């Protein structure tokens, strides 16, 4: 039995290796064309393409087992999704290979010239968020500086400077900082937060802007962000609420913190735009777009906006998908494309594509400043 399990894991690893090598070399040329700009990816599970496969963490923050990856990849790639995540679609729209996890093949600088994925499922802007189990944002920034040094040594200062100044840097971060205090507490109970709400938001946004400045100092100029979702309206946190209506989940502390963050982040970015020459940014209104899908799924071609495809309990929200997070039994829907959520905290591949399309070419209804297509063409 043990040998069979080892053989299965070996096969999955080799499949992952072969797929990423093939995809990252799907273009014949070994360097970026004039029309291509690198994509560097930071943040959490909405963007993580498999970094948590390679760190000492728990299955709570991993997606390297069935049924994750069941649609597009046909095997568990490490993405906490049935298929691709938002950052994968952004890479496709930019005519780039998927940004490889920073842990995947650190010696392959040719891959790194197209960009790198530093995101880690469960990560936050605060180092104490899921500390020791994830790659926090500050550490992701340090890894970027290591990659920057490698690329400068490989390409020379002038070419590296052009590479970093034309690249786009996208972030999905903050949600775990605000959601983690509620994981084991009823949503409608008063949870003792680590800081007063406004201070909490200020600490998170300060840490984000600190990493932005570090990337700017390395040459980065174009940055894209998701704001934070209505956290307590996900199936995962909604199951903890004694009142499960949309009104109740929006009034809960977690969603209230998200709104505070979503007010503060653009203000910080506008300030950076005034301070840093050449700084450009995009903010995608993930909060309102996801809430719209939850409330009116059929308007966008989904059948279910509140219940997850994979899981158990009310809303399939107990985060049991895959049976490796303490609850072995779980349900799996027949057609994941009908669901906004694949598991209880995470969107399905089809929902991720919906978000990515709006990030790429959305208008001022969902985007502040530039959309990502405009950033890539600046």
45 in active site: yes
Find tokens 């790659």 and name the residue: 135
- Using an 8 Å Cβ cutoff, are 198 and 252 in contact? no
In the numeric block, which tokens belong to residue 230?
A: 């209505």
DSSP string, 44-104: STTT-SSGGGSSS--GGG---STTTTTTTTSS--S-SSSS--HHHHHHHHTT-PPPPBTTT
Using only the alpha carbons of the chain, give its radius of gyration.
20
H or E element in which residue 225 lies: strand 222-226
Beta bridge partners of 169: 40, 223
What is the dihedral angle through the alpha carbons of 185, 187, 189, 191, rounded to the nearest 10 degrees? 60
Q: How many other CB atoms are there within 10 angstroms of residue 108's CB atom?
A: 14
Query: What is the rounded distance in angstroms from the CA atom of residue 289 to the CA atom of residue 378?
Result: 26
Q: Which member of 282, 343, 344, 369 is catalytic?
A: 343
Q: How many other CB atoms are there within 10 angstroms of residue 23's CB atom?
A: 15
Q: What is the DSSP letter of 308?
A: -
Query: What is the rounded distance in angstroms from the CA atom of residue 182 to the CA atom of residue 189?
Result: 9
- The separation between CA 296 and the C-alpha centre of its own chain, rounded to angstroms, equals 23
Q: Which member of 45, 77, 81, 255 is catalytic?
A: 45
- Using an 8 Å Cβ cutoff, are 153 and 141 in contact? no
Beta bridge partners of 329: none
Phi/psi for 122 (5° steps) reads 90, -5
Among residues 56, 55, 138, 63, the alpha carbon closest in space to that of 321 is found at 63
Query: What is the rounded distance in angstroms from the CA atom of residue 308 to the CA atom of residue 288?
Result: 19
- Using an 8 Å Cβ cutoff, are 69 and 77 in contact? yes
Annotated catalytic residues are: 45, 343, 346
């Amino acid at each position: 039995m043990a040998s069979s399990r080892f053989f299965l894991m070996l096969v999955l690893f080799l499949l992952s290796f072969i797929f990423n090598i093939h995809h990252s070399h799907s273009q014949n040329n070994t360097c970026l064309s004039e029309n291509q700009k690198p994509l560097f990816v930071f943040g959490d599970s909405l963007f993580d393409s498999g970094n948590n496969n390679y760190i000492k963490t728990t299955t709570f923050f991993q997606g390297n087992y069935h049924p994750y990856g069941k649609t597009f990849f046909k095997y568990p790639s490490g993405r906490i999704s049935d298929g691709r995540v938002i950052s994968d679609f952004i890479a496709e729209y930019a005519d780039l290979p998927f940004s490889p996890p920073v842990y995947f093949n650190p010696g392959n600088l040719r891959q790194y010239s197209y960009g790198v994925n530093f995101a880690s499922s469960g990560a936050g802007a605060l180092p104490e968020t899921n500390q020791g189990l994830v790659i926090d944002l500050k550490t992701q920034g340090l890894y970027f500086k290591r990659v920057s040094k490698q690329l400068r040594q490989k390409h020379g200062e002038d070419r590296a400077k052009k590479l970093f100044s034309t690249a786009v840097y996208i972030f999905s971060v903050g949600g775990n900082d605000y959601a983690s205090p509620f994981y084991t507490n009823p949503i409608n109970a008063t949870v003792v937060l680590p800081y007063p709400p406004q201070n909490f938001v200020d600490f998170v946004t300060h840490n984000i802007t600190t990493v932005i400045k570090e990337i700017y100092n390395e040459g980065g100029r174009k940055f894209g962000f998701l704001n934070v979702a209505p956290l307590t309206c996900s199936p995962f946190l909604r199951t903890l609420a004694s009142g499960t209506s949309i009104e109740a989940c929006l009034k809960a502390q977690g969603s209230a913190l998200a709104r505070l963050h979503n007010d503060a982040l653009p203000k910080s970015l506008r300030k950076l735009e005034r301070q840093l020459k050449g700084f450009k940014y995009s903010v995608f209104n993930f909060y309102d777009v996801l809430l719209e899908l939850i409330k009116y799924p059929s308007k966008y071609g989904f059948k279910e906006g509140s219940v997850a495809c994979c899981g158990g309990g009310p809303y399939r929200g107990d985060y049991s998908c895959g049976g490796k997070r303490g609850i072995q039994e779980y349900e799996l829907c027949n057609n994941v494309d009908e669901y906004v959520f694949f598991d209880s905290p995470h969107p399905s591949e089809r929902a991720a594509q919906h978000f990515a399309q709006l990030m790429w070419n959305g208008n001022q209804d969902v985007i502040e400043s530039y959309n990502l297509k405009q950033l890539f063409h600046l």
